[in-house]
Every structure is written in structure tokens, then in C-alpha cells.
Amino acid sequence: MPIKEAIILAGGLGTRLRSAVPELPKCMAPVAGKPFLFYVIRYLQQQGIEQFIFALGYKSGMFEDFIHEILPEKNFQLSIEEEPLGTGGAIKLACSKTSETTVLATNGDTLFEADIQKLSAFHGIHSADCTLSLKPMKNFDRYGVVELNPDHSIKSFHEKNFYESGLINGGVYALNTKKFLSESLPENFSFEKDYLEKFFSARKMFGVVQDNYFIDIGIPEDYERAQSELKGFTSEI
């Protein structure tokens, strides 16, 4: 079954972007005249996503008018942290609001134009617990590296360092909600460190390599780059 529902993580503080956008949550930062989150939502709609759960925290009230405007059919839910829960805690709280067996989870401050149906099909065929979209990169030090086995199961995670080439975790996941919610996990935890890196060898976790457009506006240089690169982004669904 194709994935139809997405969790968008939008509760981060965005401390590294404060110099460029001091007053706004990171994924509400204006890019080519629109909040960055606009591009994430529209891309996911183009990929067949019909329902959204927004995992909010920091300055959550600043999102509501925008979300109502961009999704007038009200095909969304809000999942609001009363206190910071980490990426894992935020996804866990949002998963409790979905009725779907498989949900897409992604970051609101990153646009990775992954083929969601390719991800969904691979995830389903392998009855996976979690399937990651992986982006090939060259000459980078902002991200860790993910290694795959020949069957595309996760072999290892490596810490941030300088790499001449490698696969990075693009932050777009197909997630089996029931299996994830059944894990013994704390209320506040990191999805990357405390779920993916802790359980990959004991769970059915895979990676799908997708060499598509990727931008993460977490630092001022890439935020500025987004201004020109997303100017021509089509908003038609």
C-alpha cells in the first residue's frame, strides 16, 4: 500500500540559524517569499501524501495560521510537545495520532526530493520496521555516513567526520508505526541515536539510495543557497 500520511518534524529550536532568522522557528524561515515548510508540504503532496501530522514544539503557535492556509481541507493534525521530547519522542507522540500501519516521517527544515512510492514499495516488500532514504554525497563533514549490506539492510552508522564520499541519512523514513510504538523507548529520546543506531542490527532496517535534490537549511550558508535554488519550485499538486 502506498504511504498516504506523513509526520513532519517542525519543533526544533534552530539555534544554528538564529543569526539569519532570529525570531522564527527554523522551518518557518522565509525562502523565496514563502516559509520553507511550504516547499516540504507541496513536495510531499506531489508524491501522493494526503494526510499530515505536524510535530510542533518551539513557538508552535506561529505555525497554525500558515498550516490552515496551505491545507484548507484540514487534512492535518497537530502533535504539540509540552516540553522538548527529542526527534524520537516527537515522532512517537505523533505516531500515536495515526491510524496507518506505515507512516512517512521527515524533517521540516530539509527538502529531500526522494521518490516516496519507491521508498514505500521497498519498505512493504521487505516488511521493514524502518526504511531510510539515503543521499549520496561527496566531500562533506556536516553528516555521518550510513553503510549498507548487499541486501540494502543497514550495516553500520558512522559519526560526523570529513568524507570524500558516502551515503548520508536524508531524514526521510518509512516507519512501521505499530512496531515503533511497541519498542521500549523513553519519552524523550533521539530517533537517530536511540532508535536507528541502537536497534539497526536487531530490527529490519533498510536503506534506499536516492540521488535526488537535497537541501538542509540548518546553517546560514545553505539557507542562503535555498533562496535561489527554490525560486523556480512548482507549487502545483
183-233 pLDDT per residue, tens: 999 999 999 999 999 999 999 999 999 999 999 998 889 999 999 999 877
Q: Is residue 170 part of a domain?
A: yes
* Predicted confidence (pLDDT) per residue in 95-127, tens digit: 999 989 999 999 999 999 999 999 999 999 999
Residue among 218, 215, 237 at smallest CA distance from 228: 215
Q: How confident is the model at residue 1 (pLDDT cuts 50, 70, 90)?
A: confident
Q: What is the pLDDT of residue 16?
A: 54
How far, in Å, CA of 84 to CA of 82, rounded? Answer: 7
Q: Is residue 114 part of a domain?
A: yes
Q: Is residue 22 part of a domain?
A: yes
**Structural contact between residues 180 and 95, judged by C-beta atoms closer than 8 angstroms:** yes
Domain that holds residue 188: 5-229
Give the orientation angle of helix 61-70 with respect to helix 36-46, to 10 degrees.
40
Q: What is the pLDDT of residue 234?
A: 62
Only one residue has cell 502533535, namely: 79
In percent, how much of the chain has pLDDT > 70? 93
How far, in Å, CA of 163 to CA of 179, rounded? Answer: 33
Q: Bridge-partner residues for 135, per DSSP? A: 168
Q: In the chain, how many domains are there? A: 1
Task: Decide: helix, strand or coil at residue 222.
Answer: helix
Task: Tell whether the torsion through CA atoms of 46, 50, 56 and 62 is positive or negative.
Answer: positive
- Which residue type does 177 have? T
Residue among 82, 102, 71, 74 at smallest CA distance from 11: 82
Q: Is residue 235 part of a domain?
A: no
Q: Is residue 115 part of a domain?
A: yes
Task: Give the domain CATH number at 90.
Answer: 3.90.550.10
* Predicted confidence (pLDDT) per residue in 50-72, tens digit: 999 999 987 888 898 899 999 99
Residue 36's H or E segment, with its range, is helix 36-46
Question: What burial class does residue 76 get, using C-beta atoms within 10 Å of its C-beta: 0-12 exposed, 13-18 middle, 19+ buried?
Answer: middle
